[in-house]
């Protein structure tokens, strides 16, 4: 009886041993593919992020986004390869994955559009963090740029959030785009005042201010004969960071010097002419 049981066990072992070993080897092979594939995904992701950040002008957020794309793409390929080890047909799996991706893409068109716009902003850099800009009808300093939105802070410290699609589709005015700016100030003097004297006062004050650049040369000329005044415009070039301080200083300094030199800034007035009956 005992010999018969031993024979049955040996027969069963001999019969199912290849199947068991095949399953074990299959599982081990799948695990090996999965582990190696995930390590490759991580390595490629880090490599892409490192190489992208080495390129001048590429934002750190964009580098992380590209690295994530590479990681998920390779991970998806590894999962498909692992399933194939178990005999799962990859064709049907890829078809289901594609249909799912299409459905998600259609439902998230706005978000995906913001992501695409965010990538364009980070690649072409029409503005960067710290720039003073006007985008989508809003004006302020750029505080943050991510893949979905651009954050501005207005001059009175109001937070404005602009979707990247609106930011990239409209006209962008970047006041910090160049290192120098032109400061335009117009002064009105009375028609009875000496125009050349007023021009000389403005020019001397501009040339004495260290913030005013010598090249391009300061422009100070009569530009308009208004209803109540002769308008003299000063166009002064300066560093972008000095624009507002220069404008405020020159406005005050010219008014004070005009008062000292007897140059008057007239109030708006009208002359009425009454014709008598003939």
Residues 163 and 225 in one domain: no
Q: Is residue 100 assigned to a domain?
A: yes
Instruction: Residue 114: name the closest of 61, 153, 67, 74 by CA.
Output: 61
Give yes or no for a contact between 155 and 214, defined as CB atoms under 8 angstroms apart.
no
**Dist CA 74 CA 44 (whole Å):** 9
Same structural domain, 101 and 35 = yes
Query: Is there a single domain that holds both residue 184 and residue 164?
Result: no
Q: Is the pLDDT of residue 106 over 60?
A: no
Query: In this structure, are 212 and 244 located in the same domain?
Result: yes
pLDDT tens digits along 147-205: 788 999 999 999 999 998 888 888 899 999 899 999 999 999 999 999 999 999 999 99
The pLDDT value given to residue 49:
73
Q: How far apart are CA 5 and CA 11, in angstroms?
A: 10
- Which CATH number is 140's domain given? 2.30.30.60
Residue 34 included in any domain: yes
CB of 43 closer than 8 Å to CB of 51: no
Q: What's the pLDDT score for residue 233?
A: 97
What pLDDT score was predicted for residue 2?
47
> Domain check: are 47 and 134 in the same one?
no
Last residue of a domain, one of 150, 174, 198: 174
Q: What range does the domain containing 249 cover?
A: 180-261
Q: What is the CATH number of the domain that holds 19?
A: 1.10.287.1260
Give mean pLDDT, residues 54-79.
70
- Res 237: pLDDT: 96
Give the model's pLDDT for residue 4: 46
Is the pTM higher than 0.85? The answer reads no
- Is residue 170 located within the same domain as residue 247? no
Same domain, 7 and 100: yes
Residues 166 and 245 in one domain: no
Considering its fold, how many domains does the chain have in total? 3
* pLDDT tens, position by position, 253-277: 999 999 999 999 887 766 677 776 6
Confidence of residue 116 (pLDDT cuts 50, 70, 90): confident
- Give 236-252 pLDDT, tens digit per residue: 999 998 999 999 999 99
Q: What is the CATH number of the domain that holds 231?
A: 3.30.70.100
In a domain, 273, yes or no: no
Is 67 inside any structural domain?
yes
Residue 103, pLDDT score: 55
- What is the rounded distance in angstroms from the CA atom of residue 94 to the CA atom of residue 220? 71
């Amino acid at each position: 009886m005992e010999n018969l049981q031993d024979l049955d066990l040996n027969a069963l072992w001999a019969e199912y041993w290849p199947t068991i070993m095949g399953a074990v080897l299959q599982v081990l092979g799948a695990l090996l593919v999965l582990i190696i594939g995930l390590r490759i995904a991580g390595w490629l992701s880090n490599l892409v992020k490192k190489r992208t950040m080495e390129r001048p002008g590429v934002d750190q957020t964009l580098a992380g986004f590209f690295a994530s794309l590479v990681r998920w793409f390779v991970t998806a390929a590894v999962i498909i390869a692992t399933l194939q080890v178990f005999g799962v047909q990859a064709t049907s799996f890829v078809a289901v994955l594609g249909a799912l991706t299409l459905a998600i893409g259609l439902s998230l068109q706005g978000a995906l559009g913001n992501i695409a716009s965010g990538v364009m902003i980070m690649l072409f850099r029409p503005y960067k963090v710290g720039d003073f800009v006007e985008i989508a009808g809003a004006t302020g300093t750029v505080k943050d740029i991510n893949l979905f939105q651009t954050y501005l802070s207005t001059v009175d410290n109001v937070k404005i959030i602009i979707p990247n699609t609106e930011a990239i589709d409209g006209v962008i005015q970047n006041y910090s785009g160049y290192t120098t700016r032109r400061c335009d100030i117009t002064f009105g003097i009375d028609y009875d005042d000496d125009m050349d004297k007023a021009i000389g006062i403005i020019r001397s004050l501009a040339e004495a201010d260290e913030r005013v650049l010598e090249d391009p040369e300061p422009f100070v000329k009569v530009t308009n004969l208004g209803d109540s005044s002769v308008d003299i415009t000063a166009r002064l070039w300066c560093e972008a960071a000095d624009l507002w301080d220069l404008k405020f200083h020159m406005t005050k300094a010219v008014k004070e010097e005009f008062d000292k030199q007897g140059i008057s800034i007239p109030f708006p007035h009208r002359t009425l002419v009454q014709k008598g009956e003939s």
